């Protein structure tokens, strides 16, 4: 099922977005008690590509809420959309839910990445209640200052772009295709979502080296800026650790890991792996039926 783009292939018709929330989502909003957080960070959704797990993100958005939400870049894959339009209804549904949140009073900050860099020209503007910024400093409930940025700023000095170059290449595309088939089969067998490329990536020594170099460079740069920590995305690898006295957080992605970073109301940070959350939920249902 292919839906109408909420805007005309990119940003030309951005004003149409204001009317877009008056439409109805293809996947109706689930009326459930939402887990509340002080802050939520997500990134690397890559709407407009087949790799995007839009349905899982829709499920996530229907189960959580927060005072502030940061969209940390690569939300829409403009590079892919330029080549070929791929925009199923579920991708519209993600945009619809984000706009709806902003309308309901969540402070939504969008920090475009390299795949959606076209939005960077709108830095300082606001569309549908979503503020577009180049980066941000977030203060946690326990008083830590965190620099929030996408992370491609460091491509020139890290080897991450070499790993990321693979993201666009044939081998990775094939791997993602296999990943989709494996998970379609697992769904039919009622097994939880499983990331093939995540497991492959962890096994490839070079990928591991690129990732740890990226993390070190980003944490070091944040340290020089005098903040207590940094939140980024870009390398599709969720992480939460201390690097040379700087708290490094990466919210992961919605292509492979389906992860989000959240801040609880006491300032405690946590990485949510949404595949695991869904699996736990269906286990609970099975138990409830059995009981």
- Binding residues (CB under 5 A) for Mn ion: these are 74, 113-114, 152, 234
Shortest distance (Å) from residue 148 CB to Mn ion: 14
Cα–Cα distance, 102 to 25 (Å, whole number): 16
- Residue located via tokens 């709407």: 47
Q: Which is nearer to Mn ion, 113 or 275 (CB)?
A: 113
Cα–Cα distance, 189 to 216 (Å, whole number): 40
Shortest distance (Å) from residue 134 CB to Mn ion: 14
Q: Which is nearer to Mn ion, 59 or 152 (CB)?
A: 152
Q: Which is nearer to Mn ion, 152 or 277 (CB)?
A: 152
Helix orientation angle between 170-188 and 196-203, rounded to the nearest 10 degrees = 130
Write phi, then psi, for 88 (nearest 5 degrees): -70, 165
With residue 255 as reference, give the H or E element that holds it. none
Q: Which is nearer to Mn ion, 101 or 150 (CB)?
A: 150
Shortest distance (Å) from residue 32 CB to Mn ion: 31
Shortest distance (Å) from residue 116 CB to Mn ion: 9
Shortest distance (Å) from residue 229 CB to Mn ion: 20
Task: Residue 93: name the closest of 29, 144, 42 by CA.
Answer: 29
Q: Which is nearer to Mn ion, 113 or 252 (CB)?
A: 113
**Which regions of the chain does DSSP assign to beta strands (E)?**
35-42, 64-71, 107-110, 126-127, 130-132, 136-139, 145-148, 229-232, 239-243, 246-250, 259-263, 269-273
């Amino acid at each position: 099922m292919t839906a109408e783009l909420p805007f005309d292939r990119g940003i030309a018709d951005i004003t149409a977005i204001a009317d877009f929330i008056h439409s109805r989502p293809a996947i109706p909003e689930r009326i459930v008690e939402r887990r509340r957080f002080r802050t939520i960070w997500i990134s690397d959704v890559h709407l407009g590509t087949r790799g995007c797990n839009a349905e899982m993100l829709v499920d996530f958005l229907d189960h959580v809420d927060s005072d502030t939400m940061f969209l940390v870049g690569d939300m829409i894959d403009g590079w892919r959309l330029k080549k070929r339009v791929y925009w199923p209804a579920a991708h519209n549904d993600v945009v619809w839910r984000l706009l709806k949140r902003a309308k309901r009073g969540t402070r939504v900050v969008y920090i475009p990445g390299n795949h959606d860099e076209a939005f960077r020209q709108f830095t300082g503007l606001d569309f549908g209640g979503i503020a577009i910024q180049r980066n941000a400093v977030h203060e946690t409930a326990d008083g830590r200052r965190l620099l929030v940025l996408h992370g491609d700023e460091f491509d020139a000095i890290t080897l991450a772009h070499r790993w990321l170059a693979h993201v666009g290449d044939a081998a990775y595309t094939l791997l993602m295709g296999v990943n989709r088939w494996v998970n379609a089969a697992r769904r039919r067998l009622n097994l939880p979502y499983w990331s093939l490329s995540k497991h492959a990536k962890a096994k490839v020594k070079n990928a591991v080296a690129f990732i740890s170099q990226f993390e070190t460079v980003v944490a070091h740069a944040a340290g020089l800026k005098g903040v207590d920590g940094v939140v980024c995305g870009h390398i599709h690898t969720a992480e939460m650790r201390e690097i040379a006295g700087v708290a490094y957080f990466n919210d992961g992605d919605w292509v492979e890991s389906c992860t989000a970073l959240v801040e609880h109301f006491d300032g405690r940070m946590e990485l949510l792996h949404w595949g695991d959350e869904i699996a736990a939920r269906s286990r609970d249902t099975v138990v409830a039926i059995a009981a």
